[in-house]
Amino acid sequence: MTSELLPSDPSRIAGYRLLARLGEGGMGVVYLGRTDQGALAAVKVIQAEYAAEPDFRARFRREVEAARRVTSPWAVPVTGADPDADSPWLATAFVPGPSLAEAVAACGPLPPRCVRVLGKMLAGALDAVHAAGLVHRDVKPGNVLLALDGPRLIDFGIARSADDTAITSADMIVGTPGFLSPEQAEARGAETGGPSDIFSLGCLLAYAATGRPPFGAGAVDALLYRTVHDEPDLDGVDEETAGLLARCLAKDPAERPTAAELDEGLVDDAPEDSVDWLPDDVVRMIAERSTEMLALPDIEPTRADAASDETPAAEAAERQASASRRKFLLAAGGAVILAGGGVGAWAALRDDSSPAADNAAQARGWTIGVQADLSGENKAAGRAQEQGARLAVEQFNSRRDKPFNLGLKALDDGGSPARAPAVAKQFTADRRVLAVLGPTGDETARAVLPTYDEALLPLIAVSPGAMDLPKADNRSFLAARPGDAMVSVPLGLYPAAEHKSARPGLLQDRTAGQYGWESVTIANYGMRAFGRVPYPRVVPANLEDFKPVIADMLKAGVDSFSYCGYAEGAGRFARDLAAAGFTGPRIAPQAVLDSQFVESAGEAAEGWMLAASFVDPAAVPAAKTFTSAFRKRYKAAPGYFAAEAYDVVNLVIQQLVAHHKQQRSVPDRRTLVGLLRRSSYRGITKPYAFRPEDGRFKAGGVFYHRVEDGAFRHVGPAPSTW
């Protein structure tokens, strides 16, 4: 967590403007800094008494030079240093996530695969540290920071020698050594080399797996004695991991594996720019901590209406709304049955099928359900999904070779999280319902997950995209689209990779809350992956006048804009951007692909690029037959998500027919969940495939749309990774 600068703190160190305090230790203070180009850094400034010691400066200089040679994606890189300054300083890349110690303390021990993946990445980091001639000397949970794309090992040996490793440092976990090697515990300085780091890593991984240090806690002398003489406590560690940790925790340094050997021995794959290896509660903690600490939301937000008395109130309202969303996210993992149900809610539910259609469906046999917003704010998307699904069922029933008949039952939840669980209960209580498409939005999806999970009824989400929905403890969920984070990848790559933008501008609108933060974070990663440092700005919720923000960004040399927010704000931003004469690359996420944007922006919307998880079937050759059939059936062009719902129903039908052909029966719900999660299907919109363990979509499926002549024009596939 950050804290405000003290009056005695400097405002700048070399090329870094200091913005806040990150922490203070025995040798100095660590600040949050930012370069003039917008890059963030953790800047460690050494205290004067150490700076006055020539030997200290010499050691510091040698270790800075060595640290610059450390190259690993899992070790925080040095971005600048001056050991000869009056106050020697060192800058490393800033990681906004929580430490491993904080994550385990808040969320409990990590699952076995997570521990092994973590060990593999940290072993790779230590291999790079050792290859650079360094010994870390302080591998502990507090020195491992968790980020969206993996952990980062920090503070590797800087300004420390083997002789001055602190064995009673106050910043150790629970005030005890806990993670020291026997060599360190006995102050055998000359023997404290690479194997000492491996022992400490073994302690760290044991802590991650069990939530406790392997040599216990208590009095320092007793703990150090146990470290040197006793066997580690690995009770609760899975057998595969325990064997490897026992080697790391050998008393004899010569018997421990090297970092490279440990990396090779841990075969679990490291994450590929995803958080899939971490438990969902830790992912949420990373997101929340990043929201609070990361520069983009919190560092120098541009207050275009700073003189207005309404701004603090708006920001306070946003903070309260964010807190409510976070509480809801945490509650969504359990049984969320909201107040406001009962007789009134049940009476308000509208079954979109007529009584005759219901009777016909029952006579035909098995049913596919559609839970959707058919009357609320997102009714256009809900209606499109219901229509696409119904067309797929009708076409199947028209086939002469069909092995059975299908019905389709659509229920309206109005897009209300309070009403949605009652709709889910109707579907789960109907044993003829084999699978359900929906709901339409993220909040309603979170509200119904417990109900569908309890019944093990497959729930296939066509439009929701929040990153916390697909997770291992949701047993029946499948995401039929890439998540919002992956859909936001083009926001970084479109300006940085496709237009070679020298200074991309990155704007987060706080009106969009968590969605805006996810979009801006992923865009930031994508830009930096191509060597572009964005110029970030954040604006208060519901900002009316973007002109001062735009003027500031253009003055800084911004030559492209990635807007991260909702359609309403994007319309105002587009108008003000056009008024400033800017016509370069402009891109926004899926939430902006809404008629409200073009209606609000008018001519200023022309040329904007949007990234989305759906297609316009009228512009996709493979969907020509579908588009024609849809127009014939509904006397209108298909809306967004209609073709995707059509695809998903045909995916379900594919699995039902295949199982019926082999077993001469329709699969039960539990079996169908497994079949769907292991399935692959080439739809008219995109390929479909899922991760079997959590139902996460894994087949690409991101598309560009551009505003032309006041309408959205489908362009084609867009990148979903960098």
Residue 104 token pair: 């385990």
3 state DSSP class of 68: coil
Q: What positions carry a catalytic annotation?
A: 138
Above 60 in pLDDT, residue 152? yes
Taking a C-beta distance cutoff of 8 angstroms, is the pair 413, 372 a contact?
yes
Supply the pLDDT for residue 389.
98
Statement: residue 34 has pLDDT above 70:
yes
What is the spatial distance between Cα 564 and Cα 514, in angstroms, rounded to a whole number? 11
Average pLDDT, the chain: 84
Least trusted range by pLDDT, from 48-52, 229-233, 284-288:
48-52
State mean pLDDT over 433-462.
Answer: 96
pLDDT given for residue 328 in this prediction = 32
The yes-or-no verdict on residue 546 having pLDDT over 60 is: yes
Average pLDDT of the segment spanning 528-536: 89
Backbone angles phi, psi at 7, to 5 degrees: -55, -30
Interval 500-505 mean pLDDT:
95
Q: What is the mean pLDDT of residues 404-432?
A: 96
Give strand pairing partners of 405.
Answer: 365
Q: How far is CA 150 from CA 88, 98, 348, 473, in A?
A: 30, 12, 46, 21
The arithmetic mean of pLDDT across residues 163-181, rounded, is: 48
Compute the CA torsion angle 174, 180, 182, 186 (nearest 10 deg).
Answer: -80
* Res 552: pLDDT: 95
Query: What are the chain's domains?
Result: 12-93 (3.30.200.20), 100-280 (1.10.510.10), 301-321+486-612+705-718 (3.40.50.2300), 342-483+619-690 (3.40.50.2300)
Closest to 471 in 3D by CA, of 69, 103, 114, 75 = 114
List, edge to edge, every strand of the sheet that includes 433-437: 350-351, 405-412, 365-372, 433-437, 459-461, 477-479
